[in-house]
Amino acid sequence: MKRFIGFVKKEFKHILRDYRTLLILFGMPVVQILLFGFAIKNEIKDSKIAILDRSKDYITEEITNKLLSSGYFLLYENLKSEDYIESEFRKGIVKEVIVFEEDFAKNLFGEGKSGIQIIADASDPNYANMLINYTSSIINDYLNTLHTGHNIQILINPEVKMIYNPEIKSVYMFIPGLMAVILLLVSSLMTSISITREKEFGTMEVLLVSPLKPLQIISGKVIPYVFIAFIDALIIIFMAKYVFAMPIEGSIILLILESVLFITTALTLGILISTISSSQQIAMMSALGGLMLPTILLSGYIFPIENMPYVLQLLSNLIPAKWFVIIVKAIMLKGLGFSYIWFETAVLVITNIVLFVISIARFKIRLE
Amino acid sequence: MYDLKISDVSKKFGDVNALRDINLDVEENELFGVIGPDGSGKTTLFRIAATLLVQDTGKVKLSGLDNIKDYKKIREIIGYMPGRFSLYPDLTVEENLKFYATVFGTTVKENYDIIKDVYLHLEPFKKRRAGKLSGGMKQKLALCCALVHKPKFLILDEPTTGVDPVSRNEFWEILRNLKSIGMTVIVSTPYMDEAKLCDRVTLMQNGCILSVQTPAEIIEGFGKKIFSIRTDALTDTLKFLNEYKYTENVFLYGDVIHYIDIRKEIKVDILTQYLRTNELKNITIKEIEPSVEDCFLTLMREK
Amino acid sequence: MEDVFVIDVNKLTKKFGAFTAVDSISFKVKKGEIFGFIGANGAGKTTAIKMLCGILIPTSGDAVVSGFDVYKQSEKIKKNIGYMSQKFSLYEDLTVRENIKFYAGIYGLKSGVIKEKTEFILDSLRITEAGNRLIKSLPLGWKQKLAFSIASIHNPKIVFLDEPTGGVDPLTRRQFWKMIQSASENGITLFVTTHYMDEAEYCNRISMMVDGRIAALDSPMNLKEKIKADTMQQVFIKIASQRVILN
């Protein structure tokens, strides 16, 4: 045990001495979150919209005027029928289409209920979401003035439907994905590099002939990065909550435990990479190319899994980050408890065990 | 019995025969030298003995233990210093040593008497990072690290390569001391002159063992007369001697020429005569005792 | 014949923080001379060579290499010198021919000249049949001889050799020194460091560094006489361990 502790101490020294890398490890989550948070357009101005007014009564006219006078929207075109909606979006100029149902005013005052359909181009989901929020709030404001003026109960349901991206993504939907990517980067990339560095330094030769067991060497290499990744996870959660006011509906303890589980998965992946790479360079390339790229593309971080071809959907099941993103979303946004995410958790646990066993078995006790 | 028996060991890397049918016995408490240039197979041989590589054929027994089956037991009794740099450059001298001590389940204090000789050289630099040490110091630190767990059998792969003559002398003194406290040491080196400091040496070339002898035996076994020749024009002398019909081997050796004749009975006068006829002046010729390098050069030629 | 000095060093000093790596060294090297530069590890040899090659700015003192000042004209120095070390020499994953072509290209040789030079080098080293082999498949001795040929491919006036023969077998070492000697006969100046003291004997003059200073500078013969030693090995050990300062 003393040997092992000595080994871990040495690893911490390596990490602490290399302050540049340390800065990157802790600075990266902060910078990434700020970039993602603020680079996403959070101001709407002169967005081009199209309107399909099937009712053409004074209420729809007033709503249209309200929208266009807000300064947020510009009317690009009045559509004649529903058939034009898709082609309008394809051109890429119109970001949102508002459809008033037939007999809008009549329904509103007769049945106390009327329908507006708002369709947004969700190829930029955050922007689309914002457009919809703005539109709905302007309509609601208008309805409130109607309400007070007539003193009757009126309900209006703007039917929000996004095409191209049926799953609504909000500004902070990127946080779970970002968390997965950063934890993966820190854990797998850094461990695989630090293990292969021993090989390059020639120190692995001496460690091999020492009484240290492969399990001790591997865990000794991994433990410091568990700490670092864990701190990164906390930084991300903290910033999400306090900088972007992201809700954490569910248990924060559960969230942290699940993060630790994902960190260990990422670490075992890193170990696996290091057992097959002979140099730091190869380790880095395989970590970036073999882990990061598939994770970014297939975890549902940027591209919704539901919209992928079937084959890729199947493949995405192999990406641990996918399961982690589901878990984080469930806890943070939906406030779900463990009973709802036991399956995803089980997937990560099993992945963990399998990878770890393979790594230990593949770890070479000799130089060849 | 901390000895090493290598029988019929061969090892190939791809098409390259790194070792060909090596047979070698190192006795307990021997200071055994493996001498040969880069690429002669020394490192491969040492790695096999240190259980880091597995031979293709043949058997290796260290202290009666099989290097494949009982590798764990062997690792407990050996100290191994790899040929390439094997320290953590970002850790200090002290930290490196402490680290290796803990890894081997001991402390620097516990075995201080063993490493004391070497560590005294390092003490003034103990706060310096290993990456900033000079070549000789690095090697001494690496030796300290290999010694810190008090091994019975020491395997040192080229500990003196790239080290200056003074540090090399100190290094060999340390090795003699280690032998005197009962350790078995096998050490490889590309420097021929270090052979005379070993109990027995083997000369290696192209994965083969040329001979296993004591330094004295190598020199006695040379069996030919060797002359040291000095003239006012060494390059010309070399040329004339190369053309001489009785020449077996001739080469520069520092500031003189070493010359080996094929004739059993050869007198200095005859050689002086030959060189004079070629208009060379200030000729001094002495019969000398061959050095290990002379023997090696001659053995290489014979192979 | 008047001596032409191709290296003229005057009180050259390099400090790293509080540590003085090279401490006010002065010497001159003649054209065509084989100048040995020996000393213990860490005595400052490598730092001195780096300054002379124009890749490290001295703290103080002057040095003129091949007529150019090390402070201001380091780019010109680089065109007139060749450099080879045990550690850095050739690209292992390129073939012999590719290495020659690459280095010749660096020095701006024309393709016709490169072809000529390539054949000349392969021929003089008698490795024509190995021209398309990867460097890593060659024995160390061949590599070092090839590295030397390549270091002098652009007809430099001075070639710096930093431990060129480390780990090379005795036979190849001798062949290597034959190459050095014939280069010297062609007027190229050779600046050599080595840990083999028998090689020190082949130098015209030896400068021995101890703790950043030049402790001795003379021909091997004179050094041995002064120190009363039979071999350079003894000279070295005496000077380095007893700190005898000769000049």
CB contact under 8 A, B193 and C233: yes
The 3-state DSSP class for residue B168 equals: helix
Element (H, E) at B81: strand B78-81
Please report which confidence band the pLDDT of residue B230 belongs to, taking 50, 70 and 90 as the band edges: confident
- The CA distance from C137 to C158, in Å, is 29
Span B243-268, mean pLDDT?
85
For A274, residues 6+ apart whose C-beta sits below 8 A from its C-beta are A191, A192, A193, A195, A196, A283
Nearest residue on chain C to B253, alpha-carbon basis? C198
Probe site for chain C from B122, B125, B164, B251 (most C CB atoms < 10 A): B164
Q: How buried is residue A309: exposed, middle or buried, by Cβ count under 10 Å (0-12/13-18/19+)?
A: exposed
> How far is Cα A32 from Cα A28, in angstroms, rounded to an integer?
6
Of A37-41, A68-72, A313-317, C132-136, the one with minimum mean pLDDT is A37-41
Domain-embedded: residue A36:
no
Are the beta carbons of A14 and B90 separated by less than 8 Å? yes
**Packing angle, helices A125-150 and A58-69, rounded to 10:** 130
Q: Give the number of B-C residue pairs with CB atoms closer than 8 Å.
A: 94
Using one digit for the tens of pLDDT, what is the confidence trace for C182-196? 899 899 999 999 888
Closest by Cβ to B163, choosing from C174, C195, C237: C195
DSSP state of B266: -
Give the C-alpha separation, A170 to A334, whole Å.
13
Q: What residues in A contact B82, CB-CB < 8 Å?
A: 202, 205-206
Measured between alpha carbons, how far is A175 from A36 in angstroms, rounded to an integer?
9
The proportion of chain C whose per-residue pLDDT surpasses 90, expressed as a percent, equals 39
Phi-psi domain of C156 (left: phi exceeds 0; alpha: psi -120 through 50; beta: other): beta
Q: Are residues A363 and A307 in the same domain?
A: yes
pLDDT at A152 over 50: no
Lowest mean pLDDT among A301-310, B237-246, C18-27: A301-310
Shared domain check, A134 and A220:
no
pLDDT of A178 reads 84
Same domain, yes or no, for A337 and A208?
Answer: yes
The predicted structure's pLDDT at residue A163? 54
Contact B98 A3 (CB under 8 A): no
Q: Is the pLDDT of residue C55 over 70?
A: yes
User: CA C36, CA C199: separation in Å to the nearest integer?
Assistant: 9
pLDDT tens digit string along B280-294?
A: 888 888 888 888 888
Amino acid at A170: S
Contact A60, A107 (CB under 8 A): no
* B120-139 exposure pattern, b = at least 16 Cβ within 10 A, e = fewer: ebbeebeeebbeebbbbbbb
Asked if the structure places residue A119 within a domain, the reply is: yes
Verify that A153 and A177 share a domain, yes or no. Answer: no
Pick B252's closest partner by Cβ from C41, C168, C174.
C174
Q: Which residue of B has its CA nearest to A214?
A: B72
* Cα distance between the two ends of chain C: 26
Domain count, chain A: 2
Per residue, the 3-state secondary structure of B108-128, as one string, reads CCCCHHHHHHHHHHHHHHCCC
Residue A123 has pLDDT above 80, yes or no: no
Task: Give the residue among B6, B18, B16, B1 at the shortest CA–CA distance from B208.
Answer: B18
Are A146 and A232 within one domain?
Answer: no
Give just the sign of the alpha carbon dihedral B52, B57, B61, B67.
Answer: positive
State the Cα–Cα distance between residues A317 and A323, nearest whole angstrom. Answer: 8
Using pLDDT thresholds of 50, 70 and 90, give the confidence band for residue A167.
Answer: very low
Q: Compare C135 and A115 and report the one with higher pLDDT.
A: C135
Examine residue A319 and state whether it is found in any structural domain, yes or no: yes
Q: What is the pLDDT of residue A169?
A: 45
Contact A10 B146 (CB under 8 A): no
Q: Are C134 and C90 in contact (CB under 8 A)?
A: no
- Any domain includes A335: yes
Partners of B95 on chain A (C-beta within 8 Å) are 10, 13
d(CA C200, CA B255): 9
Query: Which burial class, exposed, middle or buried, applies to B232 when counting CB atoms under 10 A from its CB (0-12, 13-18, 19+)?
Result: exposed
Q: What is the average pLDDT score of chain C?
A: 88
Nearest to C51 by CA among C38, C66, C28, C70: C70
Distance from CA of A235 to the nearest CA of B (A): 28
As a whole number of angstroms, the distance between CA A28 and CA C37 comes to 49
pLDDT score of C61 more than 70 = yes
Q: What is the per-residue DSSP string for B285-297?
A: EEEEPPPHHHHHH
Residue A102 DSSP code:
T
Residue among B70, B148, B154 nearest B103 (CA):
B148
Q: Do A337 and A192 fall into the same domain?
A: yes
Helical ranges in A151-213 per DSSP H: 174-184, 190-201, 203-209
Q: Compute the count of residue pairs across chains A and B with CB atoms less than 8 Å apart.
A: 83
Backbone angles phi, psi at C63, to 5 degrees: -150, 130
Question: Under an 8 A CB cutoff, do B164 and C41 touch?
Answer: yes
Is C41 in Cβ contact with B137 (below 8 Å)? yes
Compute the distance between CA of residue A274 and CA of residue A267 in angstroms, rounded to an integer. 11
Cβ(B187)–Cβ(B198) under 8 Å? yes
Coil vs helix vs strand at B281: coil
User: Do residue A210 and residue B100 have CB atoms under 8 angstroms apart?
Assistant: yes
Looking at residue A153, its pLDDT comes to 45
Q: Which of A124-128, B59-63, C8-12, C121-125 has the lowest mean pLDDT?
A: A124-128
For residues A222 and A161, the model is more confident at A222
Which contiguous run of DSSP H or E holds residue A316? helix A310-316
Could you tell me how far CA B223 lies from the centroid of its own chain?
23
Asked if residue A1 belongs to a domain, the reply is no
> Which segment of A121-125, A264-268, B162-166 scores lowest on mean pLDDT?
A121-125
Q: Where in the sequence is the domain holding A86, given as residue range(s)?
A: 47-163
Q: Are residues A285 and A267 in the same domain?
A: yes
What is the per-residue pLDDT for A99? 87
Same domain, A332 and A251: yes
Last residue of a domain, one of A135, A163, A191: A163
Assess contact for A248 and A149: CB atoms under 8 A: no
Interface contact flag, A2 B88, Cβ < 8 Å: no
Average pLDDT, chain A: 81
ipTM of the complex: 0.76
Q: Measured between alpha carbons, how far apart are the two ends of chain B, in Å?
A: 35
DSSP code per residue over chain C: -PPPEEEEEEEEEEEETTEEEEEEEEEEEETT-EEEEEE-TTSSHHHHHHHHTTSS--SEEEEEETTEETTT-HHHHHHHEEEEESSS---TTSBHHHHHHHHHHHTT--HHHHHHHHHHHHHHTT-GGGTTSBGGGS-HHHHHHHHHHHHTTT--SEEEEESTTTT--HHHHHHHHHHHHHHHHTT-EEEEE-S-HHHHTTSSEEEEEETTEEEEEE-HHHHHHHHT-SSHHHHHHHHHHHT----
Closest residue in chain A to residue B99, using alpha carbons only: A6
Which of A110, A137, A163 lies at the terminal end of a domain, its last residue?
Answer: A163
| Of A163, A178, A208, the domain-final residue | A163
Q: What domains, with CATH codes, occur in chain B? A: 4-219 (3.40.50.300), 222-302 (3.30.70.100)
**Subunits that touch chain C (at least 3 Cβ pairs < 8 angstroms)?**
B
**Residue C125 Cα distances to C20, C119, C142, angstroms:** 42, 10, 8
With tokens 């190319």, the residue in question is: A289
pLDDT digits (tens, 9 = 90+) for A15-31: 888 888 888 888 888 88
Phi, psi of C162 (to 5 degrees): -100, 105
CATH number at residue A98: 3.40.1710.10
Is residue A260 in a domain? yes
Q: How confident is the model at residue A80 (pLDDT cuts 50, 70, 90)?
A: confident
Shared-domain flag, residues A204 and A310: yes
Pick C202's closest partner by Cβ from B162, B193, B252.
B252
pLDDT value at position B184? 95
Do A132 and A170 meet the contact criterion of CB atoms below 8 Å apart? no
B89·A201 Cβ contact <8 A:
yes
- Say whether both A200 and A336 belong to one domain: yes
**CA separation for the pair A241, B120 (Å, rounded):** 57
The residue among C195, C231, C239 with the most chain B CBs within 10 A of its CB, best to mutate, is C195
User: What's the confidence (pLDDT) of residue A126?
Assistant: 65
pLDDT value at position A290?
85
Using alpha carbons, select from C213, C217, C102, C207 the residue that is nearest to residue C153: C102
Residues B169, C193, C182: CA angle, nearest 5 degrees: 125
Backbone angles phi, psi at A94, to 5 degrees: -80, 130
Task: Over range B125-137, report the average pLDDT.
Answer: 87
% residues pLDDT > 90 (chain B): 40
In terms of Cα–Cα distance, which of A52, A47, A131 is closest to A93? A47
For residue B11, pLDDT over 90 is answered with yes
Question: Is residue A32 a part of any domain in this protein?
Answer: no
Q: Residues A66, A84: one domain?
A: yes
As a whole number of angstroms, the distance between CA B40 and CA A19 comes to: 42
CA dihedral A311, A312, A316, A318 (to 10 degrees): 50
In sequence order, the β-bridge partners of residue C85 are: C162
Global confidence as pTM = 0.77
Q: How far is C106 from chain B (nearest CA, A)?
A: 29
B chain contacts of residue A18, beta-carbon cutoff 8 Å: 90
Distance CA A280, CA A288 (A): 12
Dump the DSSP string for C60-98: EEEEEETTEETTT-HHHHHHHEEEEESSS---TTSBHHH
- Mutual orientation of helices C111-124 and C96-106 as an angle, nearest 10°? 130
Range scoring the smallest mean pLDDT among A159-163, A352-356, B124-128: A159-163
Are A264 and A229 spatial neighbours (Cβ–Cβ below 8 Å)?
no
Distance (Å, whole) CA A224 – CA A325: 24
Per-range mean pLDDT, top range of A6-10, A113-117, A217-221, B5-9: B5-9
Answer yes or no: is pLDDT of A151 > 50: no
Total length of chain A: 368
**Chain C interface test: which of B38, B157, B210 (most C C-beta within 10 Å):** B38
A337 part of a folded domain: yes
Contact (Cβ atoms closer than 8 angstroms) between residue B260 and residue B226: yes
Q: Is the dihedral of CA C167, C168, C171, C173 positive or negative?
A: negative
φ/ψ of A323, rounded to 5, equals -65, -35
- Categorize the per-residue pLDDT at B6 as very low, low, confident or very high, splitting at 50, 70 and 90: very high
How far is the C-alpha of B137 from the C-alpha of B123, rounded, in Å? 11
Residue A168 confidence (pLDDT) above 60: no
Residues 6+ apart with CB under 8 A from A267: A187, A188, A191, A222, A225, A226, A229
A234 and A194 fall within a common domain: yes
